[in-house]
Structure 1
Amino acid sequence: MRTVGVEEELLLVDPDSGEPKSLSAAVLARATQDDPGQDVFQKELFGQMLEFATHPQADMADLGAEIVRCRKEAARLAGEFACALAALATSPLPVSPSISVNERYEWMARRYGITTQDQLVCGCHVHVSVESDEEGVAVLDRLRPWLPVLLALSANSPFCQGRDTGYAAYRSRVWDRWPSAGPTELFGSAERYHRWVADMVATGVILDERMAYFDARLSARYPTVEIRVPDVCLRADSAILVATLSRALVETAARDWRAGTPPPDHGVCLLRLAAWQAARSGLDQELLDPATMRPRPAPDVVRSLLGHTGDALTGSGDAALVEEAVAHLLHRGNGAHEQRLLMERTGSLRSVVTECIRHTQE
């Protein structure tokens, strides 16, 4: 069974005003004081962000329990500094982000200017184990058209800096301002993948291979494929669903590779349009069908994802739970839908944030 690990980025916010607070250094110091050997909580680009990383898990129930536990522990640590945690992919309220003290982050701020300053965005990165780089690259080539569907399921950034963006997942539009971000062409082999990344680093435009911000990539640290497109999900159950579907997509792609099935040959131009459509409307309107790259109702495309990964989900014992979770998400709506409903009901972005604090820890 392939193992799965999840990294979530969360916003540190004032529990009363909903405004982001630059307290990550203090929170991380307390986490290390409580447990000197802790490797769960990590620094991020801005002081208003806190990241945690789960351990690799083969059982999705165990992974879900760890996500919930990490969210609650992060909230406890933040609470010691009169702060709260919100799983929001952008800040609904205006904020002036403060760069964390870190040589790498300071280099990025100098190199990319306002692009760096705009990156107060929170994502969810899913790591799925692979047997080799060759298998991993074969998986990357076959994942590409399905990644926008994961983005639509996770969409959780309709408001940013005090405004309704008109998008369900505006974070992805901000993230794509990095020069190395977005979908990729077909690699074909691990050798070509590594050569491509090395050539990118050699240009001097990016600092190192860790800045190859592809929608999905080989991890530089772990023997995994790292899927990077999802927003951080408002609710933990949505994060678990995205992680489970990610593993099923990786397993399905690896099986297709071993069976000699070629990857879809959609060009980057079409993949960018599919990602834009998913970011724009989430689950509320249409998505581009991964097979035809033509518009279809979002629920139909999500069900196509379940059909595509059905054998893998059955093999891992996750099929029934995923079917139920998808039906629940389509009925309730993703985080973007929930945020907009809160805004309609309260008329206050502050109230949106404070309500989302509660959802984060449920």
Structure 2
Amino acid sequence: MVNPTVLSDTPPTREQEKGRDKGSDFSELSRRIAEAGLLRRRPVYYTVRFGVVALALAGGVAAFLTLGNSWGQLFVAVALAFVFGQLALASHDLAHRQVFSLRRPSEIGGLLVANLLLGMSYGWWMNKHTRHHANPNHEEKDPDVAPDILVWSQRQASKAKGLPGFVGKHQAALFFPLLTLEGLNLSFNSFKALRSPHMKRPVVEGTLLVAHFVLYFGGLFTLLSPGKALAFIAVHQGLFGVYLGSVFAPNHKGMPMIEEGTRLDFLRRQVLTSRNVRGGALVDVFMGGLNYQIEHHLFPSMPTPALGRAQVITERYCAELGVPYYQTGLIASYGQALRHLRSVGEPLRAAR
């Protein structure tokens, strides 16, 4: 197991220096993966998978229209929270060109799924997620561990003031409740990002976002009474946020953080900061393949159904190199993430 600590620029061991000098470490793994045919596109798989998700979305909309102004709509809200989570995972695969090898169809698909169906900016998320992949768990460069409401290292905690300082004291207990706001947070940041210079198509993205919320809120408040509509939004968006957080939290939270100045080659940077989650077919569906987080970070464009075979090859190769490779169960991964959150909040609790 990798200790959930900070990787800093302390003097490296002989093995670490040896690994850094070996520019061929990842090349050799890449060669083995390519020879196994694990990087080729899987059009049949994605046709079936996206078709099932589309049918589930259509079924949820049909159920919504059929039930009318009924409290039974809350069951539809629960089901659609899961469907929206699956749409987010589909958008993730499109963004990484796992579905199409060309940029254009990947981008069109991503805009339709993310902006129009989910109400989340594809361009904003792509920029953020690309930076995360380049430097996972890096305190200065990974936007997913940038201090905001939550803090991810004791150094960040020591500087936290105001609301982050208060939340940081209790962030382990508040983590899952805060996830209920994640869906709304993604939409808020998506609209906010439309004015950012990195947005390539702000008009297109903004139009699709507006279209999503016109359809979403228009449908809810047209068919349901205000009270039922607000309850639907709370259940749907709350569970959607919890689902997303439950999928993404096990991947890196509680794994080593990287400080500025640390030198790691690509293979070690990705493997040491990532955690795989065991669990079989149900976990594969629930997490959309992101339970193979190590392999996904090493080969972002690898189609989801190839990740399981890649895991076996990668784990064996890391054992040959003496590189720690960590995987655990789903519930255990949540426990490790929450213990990490509690640990890094210690400076804030000690300051009371």
Q: TM-score range by the shorter chain?
A: under 0.3
Structure number having the greater strand percentage: 1
Structure number having the greater helix percentage: 2
Query: TM-score, normalised to structure 2's length?
Result: 0.26
Instruction: Return the structure number with greater relative CO, CA threshold 8 A, min gap 6.
Output: 2
